[in-house]
Amino acid sequence: MSRDVARAAAQWLALLESGAATERDYAALQHWRDSHPQHEQTWQKAQTLRQRFSDLPQALAMASLDRPQPGRRAVLKRALGIAALVPTAWLVSRQLPIEAWRADVHTATGERKRMGLADGASLQLNTATAVDVDLAQRRISLVEGELALDVPGTAAMAVQTRYGELRVSQAEVCVRQLAAGCLVSVLEGSVQVRDLNGQMATLQGGQQAPLKASGLGAWVPFDVLQLGWRDGVLTAQNQALGDFLRELERYRSGVLRWEPSLESLRVTGSFRLDDTDRILNLLASTLGLEVQARTRYWVTLRKVV
């Protein structure tokens, strides 16, 4: 099941249960359900899970859509004592599976975190990211999200992902785990990559490549500004507005929507990620858009008529 579909179902469920849904929203939900068989299947499963775990916040129940496995119900019940204390809107905004909540270190949507490791190494976590850290084994497991690891010394550290392992020494690397693979970007030095088939390859500074279940893809050069999140900045250079908003959406709690006609507008600039509302207002003023905020967590961009 696609994580994006599960996420969309969670958002629709949250809107309906908020009591703020309009007739137009109900029509849009029906259109979404009718647009693909997987959408309807996911919605029905969401409804079933919501009834089964009626005492749980909907985001916690929806998390089980992603990776059903034996013992899930027991995990949910154990999590109830903590989850009941957390506002539902916050849980929805995180949109992370239960495995991520149980990780050693994690960040919420819009949060970034930096921590020092052994021998002068440092680790940064981007928005909605979770990692397990084993300093004794010098291993970091990326459960979800995106990290940046700087290892200045020769003693290597391993980064374990769902699609393979990296060995990092005297190098700096960023790894973003996606639904269908990882994106590995080497800023400095060289990084060894071992895929799920045991094949080894090396990426050099300035190279970026996808790591998938089938192996490491071809590398391409990348612009370091793509990784501006490490400094709390999101940069666009003549980027399509739709692509920019999909990236911005990672840093915002709740739902961000926009009219399809806005997709091809172009954006250039550097924006501070610590205030995404301000980013939307800047886009609106420069591109002639209107920001319609039903609530803080449900925002739509429209073209000014």
Question: Does residue 81 sit in the same domain as residue 25?
Answer: yes
The answer to whether residues 196 and 114 belong to one domain is yes
Of 191, 207, 224, the domain-final residue? 224
Query: In 52-163, where do the E strands start and end?
Result: 105-106, 113-116, 122-125, 130-134, 139-151, 157-161
Query: What's 127's domain CATH number?
Result: 2.60.120.1440
Residue 142 carries which DSSP code? E
Question: Cα-flanking dihedrals φ and ψ of residue 76, to 5°?
Answer: -60, -40
Q: Do 176 and 241 belong together in one domain?
A: no
Q: Which of 224, 250, 277 is the last residue of a domain?
A: 224
Q: Which domain holds residue 253?
A: 232-303
Shared-domain flag, residues 239 and 280: yes
User: Could you tell me if 240 and 263 are in contact, meaning their C-beta atoms sit under 8 angstroms apart?
Assistant: yes
CATH number at residue 286: 3.55.50.30
Which of 64, 80, 101 terminates a domain? The answer is: 101
What phi and psi values does residue 195 have, to the nearest 5 degrees? -85, -175
**With contact defined as beta carbons under 8 Å apart, do 115 and 129 qualify?**
no
Q: What are phi and psi of 33, to 5 degrees?
A: -65, -40
Question: Is the domain of 120 the same as that of 214?
Answer: yes
pLDDT in tens, the chain (305 residues): 456 677 777 778 777 776 677 878 888 888 888 888 788 878 877 776 665 544 444 444 444 444 444 444 444 344 333 333 333 333 343 444 556 667 889 888 899 999 999 889 999 999 989 999 999 999 999 999 999 999 999 999 999 999 999 999 999 999 999 888 999 999 999 999 999 999 999 999 999 999 999 999 999 999 888 899 999 999 999 999 999 999 999 999 878 999 999 999 999 999 999 999 999 999 999 999 999 988 777 899 999 87
Tally the domains of the chain.
Answer: 3
Q: Tell whether 176 and 69 lie within a shared domain.
A: no
pTM for the model stands at 0.70
120 with 216, same domain? yes
- Which among 226, 194, 235 has a CA at the least distance from the CA of 208? 226
Q: DSSP string of 174-215? A: EEEEETTEEEEEEEESEEEEEETT--EEEEETTEEEEEETTE
Residue 116 and residue 210 in one domain: yes
Residues 147 and 68 in one domain: no
> Rounded to an integer, what distance in angstroms lies between the CA atom of residue 112 and that of residue 72?
29
| Whether residue 109 is found in the same domain as residue 220 | yes
